[in-house]
Amino acid sequence: MAPTGHPPDVLTRWVGLAIGICGIALASLVLPSAPTTDAWGWIIWGRELAHGTLHTAVGGSPSWKPLPVLFTTLLSALGEHAPEGWLFLSRAFGLAGLVLAYLVATRLAGRAAGVVAALALALSSGWVRGLEHGYSEPVVIAALLGALLAHLEGRSRIALWLVGAATLARPELWPLLLVLALWLGRREPLRRVEGLAMAAVAPALWVGVDWLGSGRFLNGGKTAAQVAKHLSGWDMLDLALRMPSLPVLALAAVGAAFAALRSDRLPAALGVATVAWAGVLAVAVTVGYPPSDRLMSPLMAGVSVLAGLGAARLVALAGSSAGATVAVAVALAAVTVPFGVARVQSFSRQMEAGEAHARLQLDLRHAARMTRAEARGAQAVAMPANLTWSRGAVAWEWRLPLGNVGTLGHSPPGPRLFVFVPPGRHLQRGEPVFATRDWRLLLDLRKSRADVRRGPD
């Protein structure tokens, strides 16, 4: 990220940051960790692409995303450890997002603004969950914040490419890529060519590759529409407003207002873009775009930076008086800390639930691995309906396409966890199925650890 020509000590700091981020991300895997539905799809598709096969018709969630599959295709070289490789990468990007939020806000309004921005992002709803289960949103947020920092460093090409990368994980960012390419092209014609080329390639990667893998045009959009939650445009705006805590939202509004009054071009543009984009997404959902509670997550890239600016501007209003500055800072802390504590408590409960799900899924993978030889002739697998959020784990271990893992209409009695259909048969409801023979290797659904009614989305 550091521009060429920076002093060696600056490069050393960047390398140190990268090593620290990777070290923390790697250490986090010591805790029980498990991908969820979407991440498993990308991991399996990465392996399939690496082996020259791709099956994206899965009969439900997840839907195709080019960017994470590009990563998981490379990670397939890790073999059995590719799932852990993706979790490591997603968490590293999430931690990098915190560092980038700090650096962008620090560049605009000082270190205190940077600290507030990083905390605002870390305490936003969905951030911890995204890191726990390997969602792509941490990657998108890091890419957008990296683009902002690159712009501040005068690195327009890096900014453009990072926005282009984000477009491959969130298709609704495609207009932003197009606008940025045209805007940069006013002074740098080469950026226009690069940006327009990326804008042309992105739809091909979204639609074309998915078409080859599924045999169905616009398969990803149809899949997303089938599994989308019933949310209106107003629901989406409500989600956007609740992602940050109330004090963070207020500080972001203050930051945007000060930027507009002082004609600070980048922060003012960031405020306008954040509000406008939330409105555009709400309208898009109203007219039929598949809604998701993670659709608004990338907006936190802008909100966190603006919150840092807002806090810095309020403290600056105290003037040069040290006493007044401390008083304003204490008042801000008194207002925001209770909300932060509530978020931390909520995240603690989420992490405990995530760890329970991870332990269950790790047991599922172990059981599937131990019975892999028996399942070698299987063409389809059925799982109890309350465990389908982990069907990717079974597909991965038994080396089946994700679409070949189906759902039993009812959970089988006793400890039977996996059932599979022999070659040449199709599972029909009510039809007898064949189960793995060694029940001692499988989980007992009656055990408390397996009493999970609903897994991660």
Is 74 within 8 Å of 89 (Cβ atoms)? no
Q: What is the pLDDT of residue 411?
A: 53
Is 375 within 8 Å of 420 (Cβ atoms)? yes
- What is the band of 422 on the pLDDT scale with cuts at 50, 70, 90? low
Q: DSSP of 357-391, one letter per residue?
A: HHHHHHHHHHHHHHTTTGGGG-SEEEE-GGGGGGH
- What is the band of 195 on the pLDDT scale with cuts at 50, 70, 90? very high
For residue 114, pLDDT beyond 50: yes
Between 123 and 7, name the one with better pLDDT: 123
Tell me the pLDDT tens digit for each residue of 173-189. 999 999 999 999 888 88
Tell me the pLDDT tens digit for each residue of 57-72. 887 778 899 999 999 9
137: which 2 tokens? 């949103």
Is 290 within 8 Å of 221 (Cβ atoms)? yes
Mean pLDDT of 40-56: 93
State percent of the chain over pLDDT 70.
84
438: which 2 tokens? 């060694």
Q: What is the pLDDT of residue 426?
A: 52
Sign, CA dihedral 140-141-142-147, equals: positive
Between 426 and 32, name the one with better pLDDT: 32
For residue 377, pLDDT beyond 80: no
The top-scoring range by mean pLDDT among 280-294, 318-332, 371-385, 435-449 is 280-294
pTM recorded for the entire structure: 0.87
Is residue 74 packed enough to be buried (19+ CB in 10 Å), middle (13-18) or exposed (0-12)? middle
Tell me the pLDDT tens digit for each residue of 318-335. 766 677 677 777 777 777
- What is the band of 429 on the pLDDT scale with cuts at 50, 70, 90? very low
Mean pLDDT of 40-60: 91
Q: What is the pLDDT of residue 216?
A: 82
Tell me the pLDDT tens digit for each residue of 218-275. 777 777 766 667 778 888 888 888 899 889 999 999 999 988 888 788 889 999 999 9
Report residue 430: phi and psi, to 5°: 85, -10
Average pLDDT taken over every residue of the chain:
82
- What is the band of 444 on the pLDDT scale with cuts at 50, 70, 90? very low
Q: What is the pLDDT of residue 348?
A: 83
Tell me the pLDDT tens digit for each residue of 131-166. 888 999 999 999 999 999 999 998 999 999 999 999
- What is the band of 361 on the pLDDT scale with cuts at 50, 70, 90? confident
For residue 115, pLDDT beyond 60: yes
- What is the band of 439 on the pLDDT scale with cuts at 50, 70, 90? very low
Whole-angstrom distance, CA of residue 33 vs CA of residue 85: 11
Element housing 448 (H / E): none
Q: What is the pLDDT of residue 42?
A: 95
For residue 47, pLDDT beyond 70: yes
Whole-angstrom distance, CA of residue 199 vs CA of residue 190: 14
Sign, CA dihedral 284-286-287-289, equals: positive
Tell me the pLDDT tens digit for each residue of 293-318. 788 899 999 999 999 999 998 888 87
Mean pLDDT of 19-46: 92
Is 311 within 8 Å of 116 (Cβ atoms)? yes
Q: Which amino acid, one-letter code, is at 249?
A: L
Q: What is the pLDDT of residue 431?
A: 44
78: which 2 tokens? 């890790």
For residue 403, pLDDT beyond 60: yes
Is 282 within 8 Å of 233 (Cβ atoms)? yes
Q: Considering only CA atoms, give the Rg of the chain.
A: 24
Q: What is the pLDDT of residue 325?
A: 72
List the 434-435 sheet strands across, edge first.
405-407, 380-383, 419-421, 434-435
Whole-angstrom distance, CA of residue 142 vs CA of residue 165: 11
Is 291 within 8 Å of 228 (Cβ atoms)? yes
Whole-angstrom distance, CA of residue 140 vs CA of residue 400: 29
Whole-angstrom distance, CA of residue 395 vs CA of residue 44: 8
